Amino acid sequence: MEKFEKLKSTITPLNIENIDTDQIIPARFLKAVSRDGFGENLFRDWRYRSDGNLNNDFILNSNSKNSKILLAGRNFGCGSSREHAAWAIHDYGFRVVISSFFADIFKNNALNNGLLVFELDENLIQKIFKKISNESNIQFETDLNEQKFYSLDGSIDEKFQINDYNKTCLLKGYDNVDYLLSIKEKILKFENETGR
Amino acid sequence: MGKTLFDKVWEEHVVDSIPNGPSILYIDKHLIHEVTSPQAFDGINSREINVFRPDRTIATADHNVPTENQHLPIKEELSRKQVEKLTANCKEHNIKLYGLGHKYQGIVHVIGPELGLTQPGMTIVCGDSHTSTHGAFGSIAFGIGTSEVEMVLSTQCILQNKPKTMRIEINGELNSGVYSKDIILYIISKISASGGTGYFVEYAGSAIEKLSMESRMTICNMSIEMGARGGMIAPDEITYKYLKDKEFAPKGIELDKKIKYWNTLRSDADANYDKVLKFDAEDIQPMITYGTNPGMGIKIDEEIPSSAINSSKHSFEKSLRYMGINSGDKLKNKKIDYVFIGSCTNSRIEDLRTAADIIKGKTKSPHVNAWVIPGSKSVERAAINEGLDKVFVDAGFDFRQPGCSACLAMNEDKIPKGKYCLSTSNRNFEGRQGPGSRTFLASPATAALSAISGHVSDVRDYL
């Protein structure tokens, strides 16, 4: 897994609640058998009009392609468990997703793929939406080790929560399967003791 | 202090816990399908390891399979390749596959229970959010991502943070015309599409206890639609009776022994939940959704509201615009274009019987396309044995072959742009049933009656 320590970037704002994984990547694009290339169809039906032309009103088409932080409304990633949603966001180039509230499965999927997701207070998120609607070029820094998220102009400075295990995995680029394989003896013992 | 049903099953499966981190949870049963497993097998192969416990994983092809001419090769190339990949992976790793053409093939959450693979007290996972369905048997069952599928294939364990627990009680007598689909749509409309996030739900109360296993599955199935990781119901005599003759369920003395254990799987009277909600069964009426998430539901004869909980004005209005409806309108009597009876929520034999009862001797409205997609080969066979297929066909419905079909439109079964579909599935998201499609979710009874009338109809007017 790719390591994550610090990241400086502008924000891509998506002030919509309950963005489900069908919007992030529609089911008809889930037919690939590898993990690559899903970014091309990220938010497909919002990025393109039904006639196939680009929807220039949609933020991904009007915002800087270099932005690596996605800021979204509450209950982001609800619905289907498809990990393709996390792959698509990562493949497109985002490395951080912030919302006031994430769906559980999406959150796990993101963290399992080196995509840092964390919650901030809804009022603060609305304040950031407002701020960047006036100044879209403002830079923000995410510092995982310090668990800090702040704007370089100093107007926003917040701590965020992440559990120690996920934090370590992201900082070191550790892989969950490697971890589980390393405790195989414990698993065998559990199977024996519980008669499985 | 006592323990909840969830706590009891969870604790039985914790191999180890990481301080200030997740638990390592042992998985009894792992179900896989063609869409969310290929990358997990790639992971196993690139690590050059074997599947740790191949006998604990069962595979089927359901998400993108066609629902017509299943004996022919799949026409759509990418779908065919995905199904072929599943077949190859299962063969290479000695995993039992109920693929196309197999007598047990079907939607993964329909076949698990009907084959007796799903049993009380188990931990069950699948790369599909509707795995919560299996909780109807008193198991901890939930959807996982592909990285987690790889964890299970390689070690039979996953890393999971223990969720909070919520008890939802429905007490009293259900009104006539109210089905389990209405119960769950009602609950979600009360607490929103995110009201259960972070929780594992236990459904209880006198109205739940009386439900059949099929009806319980419909309720647990949609737990994820309020954000809950899963939902479960304590096993009882109804559960044991359902399991008794199922292919892979324990038999004879083995079953008696299991039942003794299963009888311990109920929440203690002094168990502590993080949240408790209680509803009156009498307050529940036939339900329908009007918006673009399952929390946007109303009683079928109500007016479309002007706001919904946990939804901003902007998001709410965006949703109504997409659906082409207005606050203050009624959905009742609204013309519909498609009816879809199917999906892991409502494609079991009980659902088909309910629909057939209403349809029998009638003909569908000429402007409606009506599809019945049985949940599995077993359901299909049962329907044919009971003559239900004839009822559907005589009424002008398409009675097709098993698969997820128009629930998520990965195969050819798509609702065209702008068209209205009254669907027994679980999600009314934008474009879920095809780009630009508009979905109203309701019970199989409502769907069947509406197909006949051609517009959204209230089952209570028919009874």
| Shared-domain flag, residues B275 and B318 | no
Name the amino acid, one letter, at B458.
D
Same domain, B383 and B327: yes
A51 inside domain: yes
Q: What is the ipTM of this complex?
A: 0.96
Of B411, B414, B419, give the one whose Cα is nearest residue B439. B419
Chain B residues close to A17, C-beta within 8 Å: 310-312, 315
Q: Which residue is it, tokens 């990965």? A: B410
Q: Are residues B17 and B89 in the same domain?
A: yes
Residue B435 has its nearest CB partner, among A50, A74, A191, at A50
Q: Tell me the C-alpha distance between A33 and A44, whole Å.
A: 19
B223 to chain A: closest CA residue? A79
Domain span at A146: 6-193
- Check: CB of residue B125 under 8 Å from CB of residue B27: yes
Q: Rounded to 10 degrees, what is the CA torsion of B185, B189, B194, B198?
A: -60
- What are the mean pLDDT values of chain B's consecutive 10-residue runs (463 residues total)? 96 95 97 98 97 98 97 95 98 98 98 98 98 98 98 98 97 98 98 96 98 98 98 98 97 97 98 98 98 98 95 94 98 98 98 98 98 98 98 98 97 97 98 97 98 98 87
Instruction: Record the pTM.
Output: 0.97
pLDDT for position A54:
94
A51 to chain B, closest Cα gap in Å = 11
Tell whether B150 lies on the interface with A, counting CB pairs under 8 A: yes
Q: Cα B139 to chain center, whole Å?
A: 15
- Tokens 């191999």 map to which residue? B15
Q: Among B136, B369, B91, B148, which Cα is nearest to B236's?
A: B136
Largest CA distance in chain A: 63
B192 shares its domain with B133: no
Whichever domain contains B305, its CATH number is 3.30.499.10
Q: Do A23 and B436 touch (CB under 8 A)?
A: no
Structural domain tally of chain B?
3
Contact A54, A76 (CB under 8 A): no
- Check which CATH number belongs to the domain holding A95 and give it: 3.20.19.10
Are B326 and B416 part of one and the same domain?
A: yes
Is B257 in the same domain as B347?
no
**What is the average per-residue pLDDT within A122-139?**
95
Task: Select the residue from A25, A55, A177, A183 to test the B interface by mutation, using most B Cβ atoms within 10 A.
Answer: A177
Pairing relationship of beta strands B157-160 and B96-98 according to DSSP bridges: unpaired
Interface test with B, best of A78, A87, A107, A122 (most B CBs within 10 A): A78
Q: CA separation (Å) from B51 to B30, B57, B152?
A: 12, 9, 9
Which percentage of chain A shows pLDDT scores above 90? 93
pLDDT the model gives residue B217: 98
Domain count, chain A: 1
For residue B417, what pLDDT is reported?
Answer: 97
**Residue A1 placed within a domain:** no
Range of the domain at B404: 292-462
Gap between the Cα atoms of A83 and B363, Å rounded: 42
Q: How near does any CA of chain B get to the CA of A156, in Å?
A: 24
Shortest CA distance from A176: residue in chain B: B151
pLDDT for res A1: 87
Residue B463: per-residue pLDDT: 77
Boundary-marking domain end, from B283, B304, B320 = B283
Instruction: Report the alpha-carbon distance of residue B399 to residue B392 in Å, rounded.
Output: 7
Within this chain, do residues B349 and B238 fall inside the same structural domain, yes or no? Answer: no
**Final residue belonging to a domain, choices B255, B283, B311:** B283
Q: Please give the pLDDT value at position A65.
A: 83
C-beta of residue B318 within 8 angstroms of C-beta of residue B412: no
pLDDT digits (tens, 9 = 90+) for A80-125: 999 999 999 999 999 999 999 999 999 999 999 999 999 999 999 9
Q: What pLDDT was estimated at residue B90?
A: 98
The residue from B217, B248, B283 where one domain ends is B283
Give residue B310's pLDDT: 86
CB B170 within 8 A of CB B210: no
Amino acid at B286: P
